[in-house]
């Protein structure tokens, strides 16, 4: 059966960053300033970001992956340690743990939210366990009250992988200061983008200070401090650090994007509500859950397919692609990728397996028109096996 609405003239992508003339001008201003690496614009972006999420400190870095790695390192995670985390996440979550020498221990998810199930954590704690790494998947906050209760019971620090969660709220507060450290991504797929880049937020001044040193080869003085010094200053390098810096060009974009963020969120939530209102009645599709304590940012709009359509997910994706609608499979299950593959993991994570096998991500981005969304909705409604 054909759709009633005329198809678009070009492919509707899953995501598209919004970059305006203000971002272009901000980068041009940085280029003309002569200071293009980590400098005053990074400091300004960090200040504004910390204020937005309601946290004391924000430390800009090169990506969310490097943010996670540094967060683990400053908490003392290393060789021989275990870190509990979900498998239903981008592989960077586990990779960051491995980069420190530790081992990811995968916990199953709550199928309603696609986030780490707090009830599973206690079953996985051992003498080797040194931290819990929570992921706020697809921009929906995890059940942090329950997770923090478990963490307190076992005296474990909590790192939040908030790569997808900028602007999402939990119990009325922005994600960014519930755990010991929170890590964000500014990849182009994210709502706020700087091209590449990441941020770590914390209320611990000692952790923030060490993070700032480690991201820049563990230098005791920042470039800005040396540049503004009125007397000769010589830096020292007291430990092995990294080159995980953000540039001022990226930060300049970030400042403009942060000012746009609430507008982005309002639009995404409106479009998500339209999806849910139109698709929730399909008997073979589950729309996203919205727990009372959480206000998701809808980084992605992911539905879950039920039988008989679930077994034909690729057929549905091809059907949509043939009609100029791009989709993506569900969030990956890390434990099914070669570096982390094992039969024991597969048997222990049935809800993760189901989510990755039956999930489908639909287009959602700031510039998407309601006409395009209506076309997507009607095309899905007309799908038959």
Query: Are 147 and 132 spatial neighbours (Cβ–Cβ below 8 Å)?
Result: yes
Per-residue DSSP letter, 371:
H
Residue listed under structure tokens 């076992």: 154
How many Cβ atoms are within 10 Å of 56's Cβ, its own excluded?
13
Quick one: 238 exposed, middle or buried, by C-beta within 10 A (0-12, 13-18, 19+)? exposed
Question: Considering 57, 130, 190, 215, which one is annotated as catalytic?
Answer: 190
Distance CA 297, CA 166 (A): 7
| Enclosing H/E stretch for 143 | none
- For residue 199, the SS3 value is strand
Question: Is 123 one of the catalytic residues?
Answer: no
Q: How many CA atoms lie within 13 A of 196 on its CB side?
A: 10
Distance CA 210, CA 188 (A): 28
Q: How many CA atoms lie within 13 A of 219 on its CB side?
A: 15
Residue listed under structure tokens 């909705």: 377
CA distances from 138 to 76, 124, 188, 205 (A): 28, 24, 15, 30
Distance CA 207, CA 145 (A): 23
Torsion angles phi and psi, residue 132, rounded to 5: -115, 130
Distance CA 197, CA 231 (A): 33
Helical residues (DSSP H) of 289-335, grouped into ranges: 313-321
Q: What are the catalytic residues?
A: 190
């Amino acid at each position: 059966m054909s759709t009633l609405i005329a198809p678009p003239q070009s492919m509707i992508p899953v995501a598209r960053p919004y970059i305006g003339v203000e971002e272009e001008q901000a980068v041009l201003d940085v280029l003309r300033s002569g200071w293009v690496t980590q400098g005053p614009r990074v400091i300004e972006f960090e200040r504004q970001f910390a204020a937005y999420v309601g946290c004391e400190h924000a430390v800009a870095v090169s990506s969310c992956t490097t943010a996670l790695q540094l967060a683990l390192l400053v908490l003392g995670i290393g060789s021989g340690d275990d870190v509990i985390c979900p498998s239903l996440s981008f592989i960077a979550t586990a990779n960051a743990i491995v980069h420190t020498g530790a081992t990811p221990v995968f916990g199953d998810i709550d199928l309603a939210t696609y986030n780490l199930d707090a009830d599973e954590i206690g079953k996985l704690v051992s003498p080797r366990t040194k931290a819990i790494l929570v992921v706020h998947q697809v921009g929906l906050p995890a059940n942090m009250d329950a997770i923090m209760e478990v963490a307190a019971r076992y005296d474990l620090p909590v790192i939040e992988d908030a790569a997808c969660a900028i602007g999402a709220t939990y119990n009325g507060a922005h994600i960014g200061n519930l755990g010991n450290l929170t890590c964000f991504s500014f990849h182009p797929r994210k709502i706020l983008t700087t091209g590449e880049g990441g941020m770590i937020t914390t209320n611990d001044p000692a952790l923030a200070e060490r993070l700032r040193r480690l991201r820049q080869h563990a230098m005791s003085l920042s470039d800005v401090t040396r540049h503004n010094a009125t007397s000769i200053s010589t830096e020292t390098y007291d430990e092995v650090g990294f080159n995980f810096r953000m540039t001022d060009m990226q930060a300049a974009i970030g400042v403009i994007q942060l000012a746009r963020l609430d507008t982005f969120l309002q639009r995404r939530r409106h479009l998500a509500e339209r999806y849910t209102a139109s698709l929730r009645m399909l008997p073979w599709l589950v729309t996203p859950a919205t727990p009372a304590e959480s206000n998701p940012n809808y980084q992605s709009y992911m539905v879950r397919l039920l039988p008989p359509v679930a077994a034909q997910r690729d057929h549905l994706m091809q059907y949509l692609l043939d009609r100029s609608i791009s989709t993506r499979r569900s969030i990956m299950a890390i434990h099914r990728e070669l570096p982390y593959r094992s039969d024991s993991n597969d048997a222990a994570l049935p809800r993760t397996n189901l989510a990755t096998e039956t999930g489908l991500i639909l287009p959602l981005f700031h510039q998407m028109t309601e006409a395009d969304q209506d076309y997507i909705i009607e095309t899905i409604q007309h799908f038959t096996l």
